[in-house]
Chains A and B, each alone.
Chain A
Amino acid sequence: DAGVIQSPRHEVTEMGQEVTLRCKPISGHDYLFWYRQTMMRGLELLIYFNNNVPIDDSGMPEDRFSAKMPNASFSTLKIQPSEPRDSAVYFCASSLDSEKLFFGSGTQLSVL
Chain B
Amino acid sequence: GQQLNQSPQSMFIQEGEDVSMNCTSSSIFNTWLWYKQDPGEGPVLLIALYKAGELTSNGRLTAQFGITRKDSFLNISASIPSDVGIYFCARTSGTYKYIFGTGTRLKVLA
Residues of A at the B interface (CB closer than 8 Å) are 4, 31, 33, 35, 42-43, 45, 48, 50, 55-56, 91, 93, 99-106
Query: Contact flags (1/0) for B39-57 with A, using CB distance below 8 Å?
Result: 0111111001000000000
Judged by a CB distance under 8 angstroms, whether B92 is at the interface is yes
Contact A106 B42 (CB under 8 A): yes
Residues on A with C-beta less than 8 A from B43 are 43, 91, 101, 103
Residues on B with C-beta less than 8 A from A105 are 40-42
How many chain B residues touch the partner (CB < 8 A)? 22
Contacting A at CB under 8 A, from B71-90, are 88, 90
With contacts A43-B88, A106-B41 known, is A101 near B98, CB below 8 A?
A: yes
Interface of chain A: mostly helix, strand, loop or mixed: strand
Contact A55 B96 (CB under 8 A): yes
Residues on A with C-beta less than 8 A from B98 are 33, 45, 48, 99, 101
Stretch of B16-24, B59-67, B99-107 contacting A (4+ beta carbons < 8 Å):
B99-107
Cα distance A104–B37 in the bound complex, in angstroms: 11
Cα distance A105–B43 in the bound complex, in angstroms: 9
With contacts A93-B42, A105-B42, A106-B42 known, is A100 near B33, CB below 8 A?
A: yes
Contact A42 B100 (CB under 8 A): yes
How far in angstroms is the closest Cβ of chain A from B106?
A: 16
How far in angstroms is the closest Cβ of chain B from A60?
A: 13
How far in angstroms is the closest Cβ of chain A from B61?
A: 16
A58's nearest neighbour on chain B, judged by CB, is B97
Cα distance A102–B42 in the bound complex, in angstroms: 8
Contact B31 A99 (CB under 8 A): yes
A97's nearest neighbour on chain B, judged by CB, is B96
Residues on A with C-beta less than 8 A from B40 are 105-106
Cα distance A4–B17 in the bound complex, in angstroms: 34
